[in-house]
Amino acid sequence: MEALLGKTLDDLKQIATSLGFPSYVAKQIANWIYQKRIRSIDQMSNLSLANRQRLSAIYEVGFVEPSDVQQSVDGTKKYLFKVGSHYIESVYIPEADRATLCVSTQVGCKMNCCFCATGKQGFSAHLSSAQILNQLFSLPEFEQLTNVVFMGMGEPFDNTENVLKTLEILTSEYGLAWSPKRITVSTVGLIPGLKRFLAESKCHLAVSLHNPIPEERKELMPAQKAFPIADVIAEIKKYDFSGQRRVSFEYTMFKGVNDQPRHLKALVSLLDGLECRVNLIRFHSVPGIPLEGTTMPQMEKFRDDLNAKGLTTTIRKSRGEDIFAACGLLSTKKLEQGNS
């Protein structure tokens, strides 16, 4: 059966029309799913019994509970979801003043960044808008959520259509009516999807940068060949990030690879004139990847030097490393192999 979860209001209007329902029924269905978060079409009490039966003959609400959960010593939780014959992971990160969910957009990833466990897994499938949203709606801690980041498994702009549908539902009045300021979408810089996102959404943007020198970045991130970081930044500069919408750059630090004075100089030059933030990330060792993380004293010096050059820079706190939930560690490769 097809899920109603993940349908936009326009989608629901088409469904209502196709089943011979009055047009206002679409908004009623949206209210039941997104605001009341019911689990069964039978619970839609303001729809007639006959209409509920017609709807449930073709559709289901579409919630799928997590198959497993692991909890870190720091309170972070990693949830496993089964999607068809595949699996994905999402990460719940509670803090004193906020609670963030890191969601996945694909099973695996095509980008093959050399430092990322998800990239090493390879690509299996795109997630539908229902499967992306389900990571929020089936979360036991849903009521505590303050923020969502699209930084889990997959490249969001390799699945642009479903990501944009998800963002519409999260921010529209008929959906969750969240402020776009609560949502950040990350990308390695796929320009076609980036253009649509910047034009059609007001959510925050995070760009996976990791090295400002083109030839060196290409070694870390194959996407640099098709979408040079200079072109990505030129596209971003067409939009206003001086107000409430933010752009940040993610920079995982590797010893001797991207933490030298030449990198600092190139980074300052590359981001010159752009209102942005740089987030330095500690590298978490991944089996089979011959990279070593920069030491914390070196990271702190790099941060301080960038701040001194006028580039707002912070070091992101690492969470969930003991359960392989930290940045770059998500992978369902063993489950995918066992299921094939």
- pLDDT tens digits for 235-290? 999 998 878 899 999 999 999 999 999 999 999 999 999 999 999 999 987 778 88
Residue 258 near residue 211, CB atoms below 8 Å: yes
Mean pLDDT across the chain: 94
Residue 81 near residue 90, CB atoms below 8 Å: yes
Pick the catalytic residue: 102, 109, 113, 327?
Answer: 327
Phi, psi (degrees; rounded to nearest 5) at 72: -80, 160
For residues 163-181, give the mean pLDDT.
98
pTM metric for this prediction: 0.94
CB atoms within 10 A of CB 86: 19
Instruction: Place 124 in a pLDDT band, splitting at 50, 70 and 90.
Output: very high
Concerning whether 327 is annotated as a catalytic residue, the answer is yes
For residues 146-150, give the mean pLDDT.
98
Place of tokens 């301080």: 304
Query: Which of the pair, 175 or 285, is modelled with greater confidence?
Result: 175
Residue 328 near residue 287, CB atoms below 8 Å: no
| pLDDT for the residue numbered 6 | 98
The rounded distance, in Å, linking the Cα atoms of 303 and 312 is: 9
Pick the catalytic residue: 89, 155, 250, 336?
Answer: 89
Instruction: Read off the DSSP letter of residue 33.
Output: I
Q: Cα dihedral angle (94, 98, 99, 105), rounded to 10 degrees? A: -130
The rounded distance, in Å, linking the Cα atoms of 45 and 63 is: 19
Residue 208 near residue 188, CB atoms below 8 Å: yes
**What element of type H or E holds 101?**
strand 99-102
In this predicted structure, which of 46-55, 105-114, 115-124 has the lowest mean pLDDT? 115-124
For residues 108-123, give the mean pLDDT.
89
Concerning whether 203 is annotated as a catalytic residue, the answer is no
Instruction: Place 339 in a pLDDT band, splitting at 50, 70 and 90.
Output: low
Position 107 pLDDT exceeds 90: yes
Sign of the alpha-carbon torsion through 200, 206, 208, 214 = positive
- Residue-wise pLDDT for 177-218, tens only, equals 999 999 999 999 999 999 999 999 999 999 999 999 999 999
